[in-house]
Structure 1
Amino acid sequence: MEILAAAELLIPKLGEAKLHTEQTLGHKVESIRDEDKILFHRHIADLHRYSKDPDALPLLELAGPRHKLFFNPSQTRLGIVTCGGLCPGINTIIRSIVFTAYQYYGVEAVYGFRYGYSGLNPKVGLPPLKLDLDSVDNIHALGGTILGSSRGPQDAKVMVDYLEKLGINILFVVGGDGTMRGALDLAKEIAKRQLTIALVGVPKTIDNDIAFIERSFGFESAVEEATRIIAAAHMEAKGAVNGIGLVKLMGRESGFIAANATLASCVVNFCLIPEAPFKLEKFLQDLERRIKKRHHAVIVVAEGAGQDLLPDSKSTFDKSGNKRLNDIGAFLKNEIVKYFTQKNLEANVRYIDPSYAIRSVAPTGDDNVFCLMLGQSAVHAAMSGRTAMIVGYRNDHFIHLPMTLVTRFRKKLEINGRTWKTVLDTTGQVDYK
């Protein structure tokens, strides 16, 4: 369990919020008080650590509308930028921000910066789109992002210059941990210039691996789509002599999608994830026993699993700073074919890599609800003058977290936890170490 000091959860602010919401907006608002907080920890054993110093107990700010605003809505311009890989629900986030900004607050304008951080560099990017209610009305039913996306940073000084030139008061950044590190650079440059520009992040990771939050948007949609792919692999496996359906899913460092899709499908016999290293020979022997007994098998492997088994290669990195992975799916397919050939056993491997198809699907209904509330929470936080923070979900509440926290590390599936134990029980696989 993470050990945090109370001070680490304090949210930076641009200054004192002085505008009374009801007077400014002209309607009654059910607001959340700043002192309304929840416990960071859930278990009593974690709380016992603070019994001698209750003031050190880490508490989380609740997300939601505030009684006082920092920005005057009618004089406020908002910007939105989406970065990194695609993920179900990005468009719903955009729509929620735009609708909340116009309908709830009545802001002056909302701009969408195109193709990630490059859209904040006028020398390399396209001009921003001015977003209104009509232009985003139906985008929640679409996959992808109407703003486009890209990987890689831009010079913080150039981006802040552009924000100043356009008169942007609030920037919403939708992206993963690499994107948030770029946002922190932006926040530092803004603070250095003593500008009143709020920066609020909406964490985006289809792998559900953002630190300190329990659920990231798009994850549920990814699991649902992956489950359909696994069902197809199962049918392919059963339709062939000694058929083996092999599905590679997303999960660079964390196996949340692979594990949850395994449980949802109920047909997977082997689930391989980055957090649980395995010995290839033991795995292949168990696969052979399965084929001899049932004549078909389904394997789900996360993209980051088994990287230690592949031939060494010089490490390279993508524009987001992520290490490029070797293709564990293709490797396993070749090793399975080779192993069964040596055993003089027929095996028909059907290898499916649906990663891009899964990333681009439209969100489920529940993910749409989740994205709607995340977008609203982001706007409420920004209008109150909070900055260098993200909105997230923890302990059954939408909350605020400092942006510095979510860039510390990536969340991983606990191999001694209930989810992974249930995977082992459901598949019947053993520890392949």
Structure 2
Amino acid sequence: MSKSFNALKLAEEQIADLDLQLLKRKLRITSSPCDSKVLIEERELKAFCSNDYLGLANHPEIANAWSEGAQKYGVGSGASHLISGHSIAHELLEKRLAAFQSHHLPKPRTLFFSTGYLANLTAITGLVRLASPGNASIYSAKLNHASLIDGVRLASAQTNAVVTLFDHTQLDSLIDALKKDTRPFKLIVTDGVFSMDGDLAPVTELLAIAEQYDALLMVDDAHGFGVLGKQGHGILEQKNICSDRIIYIGTLGKAAGVSGAFICAQDSFIEWLIQKGRPYIYSTATPPAIAHALLKSLEIIETDEGKERRTHLDKLIDIWQKEMHFSAWKKISSSTPIQPLILGSNANALLAAQLLDDAGYWIPAIRPPTVPVGSARLRITFSANHSEDDLRALINTLQSIEQQVIEKSF
């Protein structure tokens, strides 16, 4: 075997450096379905860390629909959508998703993607290409998800678009920047629900700003779709918003319980992305069996069962807010199933996660660069499959673990 060459040495050294900083990530292998309890290395752990908010990832009706779709359409699509991969299952799903937003986006049309990452890359890079190079501005919330950040960076590199970051809790700087902006194309990009803090974007205010300064507003509602709104249609339903300048992104691997994502917007915007959205054009289409399964998932989200699951989630959130108290850890108030606990240091977050594991819980430590330096945390998420007793047992365990972490940190 040849000795280590330079690139390999660099990789080994930098991985070791991540380990020293307590920033090295590790995979854990599950051997059971995604649910409120999972098997990891033959141990059953209570999981409070997935994004399966409605508890649909292991729903028997959706699993049966997936199987039915595989029997009907096979297990692969064979090509990109624009070659031969666009199935009637994809078409039906896109029409159903457009109907979800029909009260919030005039004449909506939808594109389905295999991941939210691809959807965000396509939307941002494709839309910015409406302007000639150097004539576009992108305004991106500082705490946006990595896929939005990467989409903004790629769009800027491709088109020389000017990028401005803004604090979604303080919009004065955004307004000041837009007042001075003379470029003909402007795009404001924000998460709907910020994935690490669980707070909602001020979409009503952002839309008013977009209208005043003739900008598009792109909302990535990955953690709101299926959860927010009476029918689970997301943050636009929750805030009762309707506008033709909104580009709406929804994820289907979280509350919807399956896989994929979609862009929903005015027909002309979607047609443009079909023509110029490179990730869409050059990606093999998602297997149609998945689209078939998602039709069942959307049906559940809108029916009484979906409403009952959202009502139960609201009850869990209320219990957490009223009964979970800490002496040192910072609890961020959130009206969503995302409930962060800020511990500060990487060491404290890792210790707390290990103590939770010892107690039979799976809640990983979240560290930089996912969150800002000094704000390492436990990101606790609720599922409609958690019972009230499950949550109260977690509360008791966390209160005990907090004291252990405090004692060991001195």
Q: TM-score, normalised by structure 1?
A: 0.29
Which structure: larger Rg?
Answer: 1
Q: TM-score, normalised by structure 2?
A: 0.31
